[in-house]
A and B are shown apart, each in its own frame.
Chain A
Amino acid sequence: MSRKLAVVFLAMLVLVGAMGLKTVVTAHGDGSAIMANGAGPAPITPWKNGAGPAPITPWKNGAGPAPITPY
């Protein structure tokens, strides 16, 4: 039982650490996402609102070019 509890605790600890790291990394970000699959160019995040200029996407998945946001 204690081993299972330790697994649960570690899983939650990793989740908290990951979200904390995400907050630090994206502190000055534009709300766009980071992902990591492949070498291609990535599109701009799909939930930009407003008329401001769109930032360049921060994550790469594959080596292909990136489209603009869908909405």
Chain B
Amino acid sequence: MSLIEIPVGPQHPALHEPIMLRVRADGEKVVDVQVVNGYNHRGAEKLGERNTWIKDIFLYSRVCGICNTVHAQTYTQGVEFIGGIEVPPRAQYLRTLIMELERIHSHMLICAVMAEVVGFDSLFMLMMRDREPVMMLKELVTGNRVLSDYYTLGGVRRDIDEVKKDKILKVLEKVEERVKYYKKVFLEDFTLSKRLRDVGIIKPSDAVRHSLVGPTLRGSGVKSDVRRDDPYAAYGEIPFNVITYDGCDSLSRMLVRFDETLESIEMVRYILKHLPQGPIAPKTPIRVIPKGEAFSRVEAPRGELFYHIVSLGGDKPYRVKVRTPSFHNIINGVIAYKDANIADVPVILTSVDPCVSCTERVLVIDETSGKSKVLRLKDLSRGLR
């Protein structure tokens, strides 16, 4: 039988990390997947060398819309290491609080998208409805629901009071109940189980060898979490469990996210209960950083986020290298597609929580007849017709 090539998701200028999966299939079976990258987010590394240290906080917050505070955290903590800047305990706790709120809404988002990809649209809508109050909490703490600009060198830019604390706890109570219910749906629903179980198998040894990170790695049973192994912000003081599942399939990766969401809710409660008193930022802004370099790591919702920052002294960085978790999970995660069905490609892609243009159009080309047909990824997920 002739091979058919299906390009999934070409570049999309409105989204970061644009990417295309060139899927070659023999009938229904995927033979090979080649990743074709986009290139528009890379300008951030070059631009960062021209900006000042403080301006770069705002630049790197914008690398990702969903997980923007973790980018700010990775950048600022790297710069703080080089400059020997002390961050007050209250600011460390507030940073941890906002990163955990971000993890909750990010995990809820991808679980909702997964429901949509498998054709369970009502579940998608309900989960997105219940995710919205968490976005509202982010706005309550930082002043903005998506791009927060919450960080500054040596601290954070806004404090919270008792009223805000109560509001957060009240909203999370409702969110927890809903997340528990959605986890039950993912575990017990026949259709979801059929579409996710044993789909996109990644063996533990392959996950490590191919440098996969985050819930994708933990869904293969490898206990690796930057928050526990390489503590930053206030994570060294907050109790939590590292979640792993041994199924190595798409379902395991989603279940890791559900359990992590529940863990994050507990962590937020702990943070609010034990929030230290004191200042949240230095009195004068820090503008000049001495010579040095830092290798900064943070557990973003999608996995290990890495920044390599080089300073030769002065008010600007010499080099900032950004490595997002999706860069590993999407490109090296192609091992999961081998021998899968074409209809499972969107499921496997979604299961690694890709930060790409998921709703982009798909062009199906029949190599023998040369005919092409434009489909949306959603149509592809329901099978080729």
The answer on A and B forming one complex is: no
Contacts from B to A (Cβ < 8 Å): none
Contacts from A to B (Cβ < 8 Å): none
